Structure 1
Amino acid sequence: MSKIILYDIPSRPPKKAWSLNPWKIRMVLNFKGIDYETEWLEYPHIAPTLQSYGVPPNDRNAPGITADYSSPAIRYEDGTYSMDSWKIVHELEKRYPSPSLHLEDPIVLKIRDHVALMRGPLDAHLMPKIPRNLLGEDSIEYFETTREKRFGMPLSQLEKEKANEEAWGNAKKPAEEAADLLKKHGGPYFLGQTVTYADFIMVSFLQFLKRVDGKVYKRYMEFDPVFVKLYEASEKWLVKDD
């Protein structure tokens, strides 16, 4: 059997992980101690590469799906493939049940859906900086074009018009709701001392902020110290990032 391959989107050299959804799966692999290697796919190469491997397209009706082909995708040791972090994590849990991710706990689904509410208000602060600060040359035009369609304006205009204090004000409530959930069982994780996939979703979001813009990350962490505690308790699963 060959090693697991994680298909991720690279930063510009030296190539490192930055994207939110692939980080979720990378953290799971690191947590479970699964041996894997990364195959980097620039944005325009994701669809043709995965199609060439016979991977079927995403279900456009599934939560959070915006493209037929996306990262993360994974090739398992037996040569089969999965795509979309939600599908992948369930398959990994089935194949490698220990240590458990506690996918059945309601907090996992709650945080999966809540992270979109946390990120959304800050899109104008984040999206324009991804091509500016992170992306390799092959991905910049693709990213800017597809996001212009998504937001109905160029990223430069989005940043100029909406990257403001009002956006931070809108980000406060969903951040506070997540912080309250972290405090419910005393932390540092959502279930107290028990690690779940909900923690990896949340930490992947925080790591995404950190990679895109350290100032945005710092300000977000100031919403509540529980975010710092969660991040620090999970840092060991962020070490392997390439």
Structure 2
Amino acid sequence: MYDCTNFVIKTVWLEYPDVEPTMKKIGAPPTSKKADGSPSYTIPAIYDDSTGTAIADSALIAEYLDETYPSTPRLIPPGTHALQGAFRELFYSKLMPLVARLVVVNVPSMLPTPRSIEYFNKRRSEDLGVSTLEALRVPPEEKDGEWDKVKDVFGIVNALMKDGDTWVMGDTPSFADFVLASWGATVRSMYGKESAEWKRIMSWDEGRWERLMMAVEKYSAVPTL
């Protein structure tokens, strides 16, 4: 258990096949649809036993916590709902087509059990419309070009920010910063801190993303039992 300003928080880790039944059990709604049109349940999700509320989807979770616990730091400051949404749409629409080839294909090698590996391969292959995830893997001679496309996406965000600012909104962290940092954290976990991929990202835009990752580090502790 983890005590955080009058809150007791518990993190529960799930294997991929257990996500859907667990979400249904706590009453969390689906976040999208599968390739066959059936509901898709995803994590992260929270269950707030003080209100009996279950929510999935990172942005909806942030909005709920901001509204329900206004005395805590806000991830979506008042008056910025539309701007935060526009940022997410801009970033994800440009980055997600690249993620499958550079990140998703590598996820199975990180999963702890055969059942999670089998489930992930099947689900993601169906979602992406391929027979196997390996069909998406970038040939070695094309990797630099694909990472340059990712760099261009981060460059768009960099161009929107002022020189010297750590946070998207200037002097205060917001949900947009954690969207950026979560992608960086994924690459760091998948490839490792000593990898060429991680070092490449940390060098972009005069080290702006390295500074961001250092700034969010204090928020990265995961409370567990």
Q: Which has the larger radius of gyration?
A: 2
Counterpart of 1:193 (choices 151, 157, 171) is: 171
Question: Residue 49 of structure 1 aligns to a residue in which SS?
Answer: helix
Counterpart of 1:234 (choices 210, 216, 221) is: 216
Cα distance change of structure 1 residues 86 and 53 upon mapping to structure 2, 3 Å threshold? same
Question: Residue 46 of structure 2 aligns to a residue in which SS?
Answer: strand
Kept after mapping to 1: 8 A contact 2:45/2:56:
yes
Question: What does residue 202 of structure 1 align with?
Answer: 180
* Distance in 1, Cα, partners of 2:109 & 2:167: 33
Kept after mapping to 1: 8 A contact 2:181/2:212:
yes
Kept after mapping to 2: 8 A contact 1:115/1:205:
no
* Greater CA drift, 122-131 or 197-206: 122-131
Moved over 6 A (4+): none
By how many angstroms is 1:131 displaced?
1.0
Q: How many correspondences in the alignment? A: 210
Cα distance change of structure 1 residues 172 and 59 upon mapping to structure 2, 3 Å threshold? closer
Question: Residue 202 of structure 1 aligns to a residue in which SS?
Answer: helix
**Does residue 88 of structure 2 align to residue 115 of structure 1?**
no
Counterpart of 2:42 (choices 67, 70, 78) is: 70
Counterpart of 1:55 (choices 1, 6, 28) is: 28
Kept after mapping to 2: 8 A contact 1:129/1:213:
no
**Does residue 76 of structure 2 align to residue 102 of structure 1?**
yes
**Gaps in structure 2 of 5+ consecutive residues:** none
Q: TM-score, normalised by structure 1?
A: 0.75
Kept after mapping to 1: 8 A contact 2:63/2:76:
no
* Distance in 2, Cα, partners of 1:122 & 1:138: 23
* Distance in 2, Cα, partners of 1:169 & 1:241: 36
Q: Which amino acid aligns with 1:188?
A: T
Question: Residue 28 of structure 2 aligns to a residue in which SS?
Answer: coil
RMSD across aligned positions (CA): 2.9
Render the CA deviation track for 1:58-113: whole Å, top value 9, x for unaligned: 354xxxxx952110111103232111222211111111123222343254223322
Q: Please list, as runs of the form range in 1=range in 2, the aligned pairs for 1:13-24 lying within 5 A after superposition.
A: none
* Distance in 2, Cα, partners of 1:95 & 1:201: 21
Question: Residue 137 of structure 2 aligns to a residue in which SS?
Answer: helix
Cα distance change of structure 1 residues 56 and 196 upon mapping to structure 2, 3 Å threshold? closer
Q: Which has the higher contact order (CA 8 A, sep 6+)?
A: 1
* Distance in 2, Cα, partners of 1:220 & 1:153: 31
Kept after mapping to 2: 8 A contact 1:119/1:171:
no
Q: Please list, as runs of the form range in 1=range in 2, the aligned pairs for 1:163-178 lying within 5 A after superposition.
A: 164-178=143-157
Q: TM-score, normalised by structure 2?
A: 0.80
* Distance in 1, Cα, partners of 2:117 & 2:163: 42
Cα distance change of structure 1 residues 125 and 187 upon mapping to structure 2, 3 Å threshold? same
Cα distance change of structure 1 residues 150 and 54 upon mapping to structure 2, 3 Å threshold? closer
* Distance in 2, Cα, partners of 1:107 & 1:123: 26
* Distance in 1, Cα, partners of 2:30 & 2:135: 32
Question: What does residue 43 of structure 1 align with?
Answer: 16
Cα distance change of structure 1 residues 157 and 102 upon mapping to structure 2, 3 Å threshold? closer
Kept after mapping to 2: 8 A contact 1:102/1:196:
yes
Q: Please list, as runs of the form range in 1=range in 2, the aligned pairs for 1:73-92 lying within 5 A after superposition.
A: 73-78=45-50, 79-92=52-65
Question: What does residue 203 of structure 2 align with?
Answer: 222
Cα distance change of structure 1 residues 67 and 236 upon mapping to structure 2, 3 Å threshold? farther
* Distance in 1, Cα, partners of 2:87 & 2:152: 14
Percent of aligned positions that are identical: 27
